[in-house]
Structure 1
Amino acid sequence: MKLLRYGDKGREKPGLLDESGTLRDLSGQVDDIAGEVLSDGGLARLRELDPATLPAVEGTPRLGPCVGGVSKIPAIGLNYSDHAAESNLPVPSEPIIFTKAVSSLSGPYDDVERPRNSQSLDWEVELAIVIGKRTKYVTEEAAMDHIAGFAVMNDVSEREFQAKRQGQWTKGKSHDTFAPLGPWLVTRDEVGDPHVLDLWLDVNGERRQTGNTRTLIFNVPFIVSYVSQFMTLQPGDVIPTGTPPGVGMGMNPQQFLNPGDVMELGITGLGSQRQTVISA
């Protein structure tokens, strides 16, 4: 299934994309794509519905972040060996975890803000894991059963804030609009193996990133198990899993985003995003 949220910011409604590409309203079935809805039982109940019986949504409404009720975004850094190399950093011996503020979530086609005093705004296409049930000390073998599905995320980053302004990475990762998520959550049964997915990102029509999840340093079940050793994951929590090479910071000379620039990105089977950069 492809589950999504549509409507004005902060007032999104739950929806489903049927096989014909028609957006169907789920408001009469669930309150949101969140919480218990993301559990195996909740998803099974949605699968039992005949999409043709659900109201079709007219027009082209705004799409919001595809998951609601997100309590945290523990992200994984430097999880592609070739990205670590372009960053002039060693391949990590265990996953690097940093936090993106929940307030950074935005829709897949919303504008991305360049913060005030920003000089180094960068892009990062990433596979995002969406947790489906409470997860604490889960084993690697059982980890996939705790995943509701997957989505595209652009882990937008301000590199000077991230690396040169003291402290941890969070301040360079958490500005409003720095976590476009969607367009939809694709349930894990439909994704199949998450380690064979192509990723890509263009800036102003020019290809910047090309990668495949088969080159992840730490794979999906290991990441979920690892993160759950340090914090309890709740339904709807989002784990971005790292980005392949081709970010602006790694180019020679470095290239960063300016107002008016357009990012387009996507992952096989998970859909695509498009954002225009504006000034905050």
Structure 2
Amino acid sequence: MMRGRVAYAGAIHEAYPEGDNIRLADGRIRQEHEVVWLPPIEVGTIFALGLNYAEHAKELQFSSQEEPLVFLKGPGTVIGHRGVTRRPVGVAFMHYECELAVVIGRTAKNVRREAALDYVAGYTIANDYAIRDYLENYYRPNLRVKNRDGGTVLGPWFVDAGNIADVTQLELRTIVNGTLQQRGNTRDLVTDIPALIEYLSGFMTLAPGDIILTGTPEGVVNVNAGDEVVCEIEGLGRLVNVIASDADFGRV
């Protein structure tokens, strides 16, 4: 089942796909642009993977690491489908990152990889923006690169794990202003989902609502104010986002 969360008429509603429209939990049918989209779940701790596709690491001229490169993200980073992300003035290289987001469904501690997928509630799409100007190095990702307000778009739908036949064979695509710029497949993950859950739960407890952003494939390009960025993952839908300038946010 696909389900999302939206704000409409002063209340928060569960929403479901209904052809080209959405259906609220009370049965009302609305168009996508008539509602404010929220992240599809109540977000817990966000674990983000860096350089978890070999070709993307090569694209950034980085050799693979022995352990997963993981960092944390604060809750203020997250916005929903059709949200707006700010591009600060003066930066040279800001890019999208289309990622499969894994949502933990129950408390996980010292989980073996053979049982790891039993702890997954479902999946959604993430677009986790980065500003390379701010990066200090790949071993210590700068907070300004990955923890900016509104820099992580999540949604539009949460899809139950049981509705995804094979999470190891999902195609990812990113389209900027109508042009396909990024394409990859989850079969190319350096550290796969069971191994990530085993690794993280081996030294800390994962809780329901925690999210693992599994990394992005090669094909990142610079985006500018006014650009529309669409991230698609097979079986999970289509996540739309727009870039805005400092001036659009009232910053001059």
Counterpart of 1:213 in structure 2 is 186
Does the aligned pair in 1 maintain the 2:7–2:13 contact within 8 Å? no
1:107-149 residue CA offsets vs partner (Å, 9 max, x unmatched): 1211111135433211110000011111121111111111110
Is the aligned partner of 1:17 residue 2:16? yes
Q: Which of 198, 204, 225 in structure 1 is aligned with 2:198?
A: 225
Q: Which of 9, 22, 30 in structure 2 is aligned with 1:58?
A: 30
Assess, with a 3 A threshold, how the Cα gap between structure 1 residues 117 and 136 changes in structure 2: closer, same or farther: farther
Rounded Cα–Cα distance in structure 1 between residues aligned with 2:155 and 2:117 = 20
Rounded Cα–Cα distance in structure 2 between residues aligned with 1:78 and 1:96 = 7
SS at match of 1:183: strand
Q: What letter corresponds to residue 105 of structure 2 in structure 1? A: G
Counterpart of 2:4 in structure 1 is 4
Q: Which of 209, 212, 225 in structure 2 is aligned with 1:239?
A: 212
Q: Which of 58, 78, 86 in structure 2 is aligned with 1:113?
A: 86
List aligned pairs for 1:7-46, cutoff 5 A.
7=7, 13-17=12-16, 23-26=22-25
Rounded Cα–Cα distance in structure 2 between residues aligned with 1:25 and 1:74 = 30
Q: Which of 223, 233, 245 in structure 2 is aligned with 1:279?
A: 245
Counterpart of 2:225 in structure 1 is 259
Rounded Cα–Cα distance in structure 1 between residues aligned with 2:242 and 2:19 = 28
Q: What letter corresponds to residue 3 of structure 2 in structure 1? A: L
List aligned pairs for 1:91-110, cutoff 5 A.
91-110=64-83
Assess, with a 3 A threshold, how the Cα gap between structure 1 residues 196 and 228 changes in structure 2: closer, same or farther: same
Does the aligned pair in 2 maintain the 1:134–1:234 contact within 8 Å? yes
Rounded Cα–Cα distance in structure 2 between residues aligned with 1:109 and 1:18 = 15
Question: Could you list the runs of 5+ residues in structure 1 that have no partner in the other structure?
Answer: 27-53, 249-255
Does the aligned pair in 2 maintain the 1:22–1:56 contact within 8 Å? no
Rounded Cα–Cα distance in structure 1 between residues aligned with 2:187 and 2:91 = 33
Q: What letter corresponds to residue 4 of structure 1 in structure 2? A: G
Aligned residues: 243
Rounded Cα–Cα distance in structure 2 between residues aligned with 1:59 and 1:273 = 15
Q: What letter corresponds to residue 109 of structure 2 in structure 1? A: K
Question: Could you list the runs of 5+ residues in structure 2 that have no partner in the other structure?
Answer: 247-252
Q: What letter corresponds to residue 232 of structure 2 in structure 1? A: G
Assess, with a 3 A threshold, how the Cα gap between structure 1 residues 131 and 202 changes in structure 2: closer, same or farther: same
Is the aligned partner of 1:90 residue 2:90? no
Assess, with a 3 A threshold, how the Cα gap between structure 1 residues 275 and 21 changes in structure 2: closer, same or farther: closer
Deviates more, 1:111-120 or 1:224-233: 111-120
SS at match of 1:143: helix
Counterpart of 1:42 in structure 2 is none
RMSD: 2.2
**Higher strand proportion (structure 1 or 2):** 2
Counterpart of 1:192 in structure 2 is 165
TM-score (normalizing by structure 1):
0.80
Q: What letter corresponds to residue 276 of structure 1 in structure 2? A: V
TM-score (normalizing by structure 2):
0.88
Deviates more, 1:190-199 or 1:134-143: 134-143
Q: Which of 69, 83, 107 in structure 2 is aligned with 1:134?
A: 107
Rounded Cα–Cα distance in structure 2 between residues aligned with 1:23 and 1:121 = 32
Does the aligned pair in 2 maintain the 1:3–1:14 contact within 8 Å? no
Counterpart of 1:79 in structure 2 is 52
